[in-house]
């Protein structure tokens, strides 16, 4: 009977020993895989840390470049404002000088006109005959019609004819006309 019990227990014990062997083998495999997984996790963690450092460095670089770009843009805008202000000043000076030039020209023309109005007709005619035709026409244009008639009557007829043609065209008188 003891043998019987032993025989009955022997297959169970053998099975238990076999299961125990499998259990030990599984634990060894799990421990080995656990080590591999931990190494892989360490490698991934290092890669993630490297990526984070790279990302921070890139963001810092982008921020620096944006600050430099913003500074340059501010400089360009300041320069543009200075150029615009200078241009405005130049245009104002130009207009002011243009008005002054017109006033000077008018004063000169008025003075010349006054001189010719006071001059004797024959003297004025002799001077205008010797002048380029456009200049003579310009002076005559500023005189009164009565004075023009008296002076042109004393001028050389050919010259008076050419000056009359210029007067009919009106100012500005062409300076390319012949003498």
Q: Which domain holds residue 132?
A: 119-179
Residue 130 lies in a domain: yes
Q: Which residue, 52, 74, 55, is CA-closest to 63?
A: 55
Residue 142 lies in a domain: yes
What is the full DSSP assignment across 52-74?
Answer: HHHHHHHHHHHHHHHHHHHHHHH
Highest mean pLDDT among 41-45, 87-91, 167-171: 87-91
What percentage of the chain carries pLDDT values higher than 70?
Answer: 83
**Whether residue 67 is found in the same domain as residue 131:** no
Residue 8 lies in a domain: no
Residue 5 has pLDDT above 80, yes or no: no
**Whether residue 29 is found in the same domain as residue 79:** yes
**Whether residue 147 is found in the same domain as residue 87:** no
Average pLDDT, stretch 26-31? 79
Average pLDDT, stretch 123-146? 90
**Whether residue 75 is found in the same domain as residue 32:** yes
Residue 43 lies in a domain: yes
Task: Read off the pTM.
Answer: 0.49
**Whether residue 23 is found in the same domain as residue 78:** yes
HSE of 172, CA atoms in CB hemisphere, 13 A: 3
**Whether residue 146 is found in the same domain as residue 90:** no
**Whether residue 63 is found in the same domain as residue 137:** no
Q: State the chain's mean pLDDT as an integer.
A: 84
Residue 2 lies in a domain: no
Q: What are all long-range contacts of 70-74, with beta carbons under 8 Å and residues at least 24 apart?
A: none
Q: CA 166, 109, 170 angle in degrees (round to 5)?
A: 20
Please indicate whether residue 19 or residue 91 has the higher confidence score (pLDDT): 91
**Whether residue 128 is found in the same domain as residue 83:** no
Could you count the other beta carbons within 10 Å of the beta carbon of residue 132? Answer: 13
Residue where a domain stops, chosen among 100, 131, 159: 100
Residue 60 has pLDDT above 70, yes or no: yes
Q: How far apart are CA 164 and CA 174, in angstroms?
A: 13
Q: CA 123, 129, 133 angle in degrees (round to 5)?
A: 135
Name the domain count of the chain. 2
Residue 109 lies in a domain: no
């Amino acid at each position: 009977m003891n043998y019987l019990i032993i025989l009955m227990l022997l297959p169970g014990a053998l099975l238990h020993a076999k299961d125990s062997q499998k259990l030990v083998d599984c634990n060894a495999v799990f421990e080995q895989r656990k080590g591999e997984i931990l190494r892989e996790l360490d490698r991934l963690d290092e890669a993630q840390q490297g990526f984070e450092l790279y990302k921070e460095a890139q963001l810092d670089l982008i921020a620096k470049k944006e600050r430099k770009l913003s500074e340059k843009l501010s400089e360009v805008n300041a320069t543009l404002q200075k150029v615009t202000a200078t241009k405005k000043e130049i245009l104002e000076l130009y207009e002011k000088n243009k008005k002054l030039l017109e006033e000077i020209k008018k004063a000169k023309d008025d003075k010349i006109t006054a001189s010719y109005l006071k001059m004797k007709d024959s003297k004025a005619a002799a001077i205008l005959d010797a002048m380029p035709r456009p200049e003579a026409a310009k002076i005559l244009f500023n005189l009164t019609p009565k004075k023009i008639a008296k002076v042109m009557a004393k001028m050389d007829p050919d010259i008076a004819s050419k000056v009359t043609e210029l007067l009919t065209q009106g100012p500005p008188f062409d300076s390319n006309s012949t003498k």
